[in-house]
A and B are shown apart, each in its own frame.
Chain A
Amino acid sequence: MIPAVRILIVEDDTPLAAGLTQILRAEGHAADVMASGERALLALQQEKFDLAILDVGLPGIDGFEVLRRLRAAGQRMPVLLLTARDQVEERVRGLDLGADDYMPKPFAMQELAARVRALLRRAQAQTGPKIVHGPLTLDLVARRAFLDGEPLELAAREWSVLEVLLARVERIVSKDAIIQAVSSWGEELSPNAIEVYVSRLRAKLEPAGVRIRTVRGFGYMLEEYKGA
């Protein structure tokens, strides 16, 4: 499971901020709300947060500017942008400025919770030694996998495919992206080979409730763990 973390919510709309706080606390996290960019930057100087949920349309300095300044100050925590303006250019701008994810308002609370979990897991994988997904644990240092606490045998390619999927839970990972991530030293894997690795992974993981969905004609999606 993901250990409890501290999350900064920067949102000036009081009802929405209250809703976000509740859902995050229900997930077992600590959440602080700041209603303006200035206060958020002040809080970031004084306290340490594991993740920030940042509204773009803030009064005063806007979310983009807060993001720019906190990245400029060397803050590396994952940032999830919330925006009322669901436009391509805005998403690109946010991601360019160093946001990790982007959600147009309004959104389902479950969706938000899932995104937060995915971001925390990714941050953990980058900084920590382990990736945890339901009953599945990947020890990145020892390069060993466990399922329900039992050691799980994974071939090198299977491990690579699983790692790519784990980095993007609930997101489609295209076959091309998997091929690029898994191939090395000039040898290119065929889409068929990827299908073989995925079906082997499924055989090993599905009995424990870890599901890899096929997105026809596109790729795969490792689903949120919802119990065996």
Chain B
Amino acid sequence: MPRSLRRHLLRLLLPPVAALLAAGAVAAYFISLRPASEAYDQALVDIGLALGDRIRGAGGAYYFDLPSVAERALRTDKYDTIYYSVQAPDGVQIGGETGLPAPPSMRSGADGVRAFDGEYRGTAVRIVALRVPCEADVCTVQVAETRNKRDRLARDIVLSSLVPELLIALATLAIVWFGVKRGLVPLEELCAQIKMRSARDLRPIDLGETPTEAAPLVGALNQLLVQVDEARRNQQRFLSNAAHQLRTPLAGLQAHAELALAQPVPEPVRAELEQVRAATVRTARLANQLLALARAEPGGYRAETFVPVNLRRTVEETADEWVRRARDKEIDLGFELEDAMVTGDAFLLREIFMNLVHNAIEYTPRGGRVTVRTGRRRARAFIELEDNGPGIASSERRRVRERFYRIPGTAGAGSGLGLAIVSEIAHAHGAEVEIGEGADGQGCRVALTFLAAQDRLAADAP
């Protein structure tokens, strides 16, 4: 599973934040409970002091004198039951209930008061024990109270603080969540920017717009881009050199085959020499086609070096050679040329024409007719070849674009690369390839229509 930076951040931030909030809530509970609890204790102390006032004693003997009216008043409480016990200095019980729990240890505060929790008659109680002066000695008074008021108070504190605490907690979590999300927006933008790039665009990413924290990452990526670009160029240089290096020995081979053919040689030898010559020409063409194919692939050329090219000029510049070849086959090669401006790689655009016209002349029978057209249709530049040869069956029109595919039964010795090259170059230039019939439903018509520059920009965007 890929590591999500956002999830990671949230996992790091949310538990401690939640724990802190919980701890805060607990602390707040105790902080607000204590003064309230002390106030209740003080009320018990007051009762104890009042009880202490009722201890009488003379000559070492003590008794407790509380009128029943006063006792009722003392014991009256809306919520809780109050118990007490009064002990003489010698520990003898002289009033109140017996059996109240004794203080854990009688180390009392400065005022001689000690408050503690205990249990009496099966109920949890709060007890205060205080020492009161009696005669010349000290008596002990304990006052106990059930916990109804206190529990109620605690419940009230919890309830009254829970809602705001929860709201604060939710708000904090929301802030963390959105903060992390917002904080990661520049990263997402960077990501989108990289995703939008075409595979051919190896320019470094602009560091100016990159967040400082992402700069090392982008820097490393840029370094990689430079290396990929360099490797791509090396590969292209190698391919280009290899294809070109082949051509000089091929030129020598062709020269000597032709010179031999010019000699008076026996017919079987002539036929063999003719084969050698034809194979040489094909090999040279194949080298050129492979070069074109390599260059048309992603990474084979640099989209940013595309230049404006007029397809009309492309055709005009290489027309001589094809007119001579057509003449050798008694084919009428004609032109209907209008300006057709496109943006692209001049070498590759020329390869389009070379391959299309080569195919048309190759597959059109002797005495046939081939027409080259360039121009603009509905604001789009096009180049089109039409012949009155055998045509391409509609069932084959897709497959002929595949590399090395040749229609079964085709005469001649083609490589099956021509239309594949045309298709790849068209793709690289945002052009559509259409393969159909000639004007009267006879022959073949191949048309490349180039997207207008603004359409291309729209098509490139994801």
Interface residues of A, Cβ cutoff 8 Å to B: 13-16, 18-20, 22-23, 26, 55, 57, 82, 84-89, 104-111, 170-172, 174, 213, 215-218, 221, 223
* Total B residues in contact with A, Cβ cutoff 8 Å: 37
Given A170-B320, A217-B335: A57 and B248 interface contact (C-beta under 8 Å): yes
6 further contact pairs, Cβ within 8 A, besides A15-B252, A171-B320, A213-B327: A19-B256, A19-B259, A20-B255, A26-B262, A109-B258, A213-B323
Is B204's CB within 8 Å of the partner chain A?
A: no
Task: Collect the chain B residues with CB atoms within 8 Å of residue A18's CB.
Answer: 252, 256
Q: B255 touching A15 by the CB < 8 A rule? A: yes
Interface residues of B, Cβ cutoff 8 Å to A: 240, 244-245, 247-256, 258-259, 262, 280-281, 284, 288, 316-317, 319-320, 323-324, 327, 332-337, 346-347, 350, 371
Q: Give the complex CA separation of A174 and B346 in angstroms.
A: 22
Q: Which of B288, B316, B323, B337 has the most CB of A within 10 A?
A: B323
Q: Report the minimal beta-carbon distance from B159 to chain A, rounded to whole angstroms.
A: 85
Q: B249 touching A15 by the CB < 8 A rule? A: yes
Given A23-B259, A218-B334: A106 and B254 interface contact (C-beta under 8 Å): yes
Residue of B at shortest CB range from A114?
Answer: B324
Task: Collect the chain B residues with CB atoms within 8 Å of residue A16's CB.
Answer: 248-249, 251-252, 255
Task: Collect the chain B residues with CB atoms within 8 Å of residue A89's CB.
Answer: 346
Interface majority SS (helix, strand, loop, mixed), chain B:
helix
Q: B281 touching A86 by the CB < 8 A rule? A: no
Q: A172 touching B323 by the CB < 8 A rule? A: yes
Q: Report the minimal beta-carbon distance from A25 to chain B, rounded to whole angstroms.
A: 11
* Shortest Cβ-Cβ A-B pairs, 6 listed: A19-B255, A216-B334, A15-B252, A106-B251, A16-B252, A105-B251
Q: Give the complex CA separation of A170 and B335 in angstroms.
A: 17
Task: Collect the chain B residues with CB atoms within 8 Å of residue A85's CB.
Answer: 240, 244
Q: B320 touching A216 by the CB < 8 A rule? A: no
Q: B337 touching A172 by the CB < 8 A rule? A: no
Given A15-B256, A19-B259, A215-B319: A105 and B247 interface contact (C-beta under 8 Å): yes
Q: Give the complex CA separation of A14 and B317 in angstroms.
A: 31
User: Can you spell out 26 A-B residue pairs with CB atoms less than 8 angstroms apart?
Assistant: A13-B249, A15-B252, A16-B248, A19-B256, A22-B255, A23-B259, A57-B248, A85-B244, A88-B317, A104-B247, A105-B248, A106-B251, A106-B281, A107-B251, A109-B255, A109-B262, A111-B324, A170-B320, A172-B319, A213-B327, A215-B334, A216-B334, A218-B319, A218-B334, A221-B320, A223-B327
Task: Collect the chain A residues with CB atoms within 8 Å of residue B252's CB.
Answer: 13-16, 18-19
Task: Collect the chain B residues with CB atoms within 8 Å of residue A23's CB.
Answer: 255, 258-259
Q: B254 touching A86 by the CB < 8 A rule? A: no
Q: B323 touching A13 by the CB < 8 A rule? A: no
Q: Give the complex CA separation of A57 and B240 in angstroms.
A: 13
Q: Give the complex CA separation of A22 and B288 in angstroms.
A: 27
Q: B323 touching A109 by the CB < 8 A rule? A: no
Q: A88 touching B346 by the CB < 8 A rule? A: yes
Q: Report the minimal beta-carbon distance from B340 to chain A, rounded to whole angstroms.
A: 14
Q: A172 touching B320 by the CB < 8 A rule? A: yes
Q: Give the complex CA separation of A164 and B258 in angstroms.
A: 32
Q: Give the complex CA separation of A85 and B332 in angstroms.
A: 30
Q: Which of A84, A108, A216, A217 contacts B248 (CB 8 A)?
A: A84
Residue of B at shortest CB range from A213?
Answer: B327
Q: Which of A88, A172, A223 contacts B347 (CB 8 A)?
A: A88
Task: Collect the chain B residues with CB atoms within 8 Å of residue A108's CB.
Answer: 254, 258
Q: Report the minimal beta-carbon distance from B14 to chain A, rounded to whole angstroms.
A: 62
Q: B324 touching A170 by the CB < 8 A rule? A: yes
Q: Give the complex CA separation of A18 and B251 in angstroms.
A: 11
Residue of A at shortest CB range from B327?
Answer: A213
Q: A216 touching B250 by the CB < 8 A rule? A: no
Given A19-B255, A110-B258: A105 and B250 interface contact (C-beta under 8 Å): yes
Task: Collect the chain A residues with CB atoms within 8 Å of residue B350's CB.
Answer: 88
Task: Collect the chain B residues with CB atoms within 8 Å of residue A84's CB.
Answer: 244-245, 247-248, 251
Residue of B at shortest CB range from A91?
Answer: B317
Given A19-B256, A19-B259, A87-B347: A218 and B335 interface contact (C-beta under 8 Å): yes
Residue of A at shortest CB range from B277?
Answer: A108
Q: A218 touching B337 by the CB < 8 A rule? A: yes
Q: Which of B240, B253, B332, B333 contacts A106 (CB 8 A)?
A: B253
Q: Give the complex CA separation of A25 and B255 in angstroms.
A: 14
Task: Collect the chain B residues with CB atoms within 8 Å of residue A221's CB.
Answer: 320, 323
Q: Give the complex CA separation of A217 and B338 in angstroms.
A: 11
Residue of A at shortest CB range from B284?
Answer: A106
Residue of B at shortest CB range from A107?
Answer: B251
Q: Give the complex CA separation of A107 and B320 in angstroms.
A: 14
Q: Which of B258, B317, B332 contacts A216 (CB 8 A)?
A: B332
Task: Collect the chain B residues with CB atoms within 8 Å of residue A171's CB.
Answer: 320
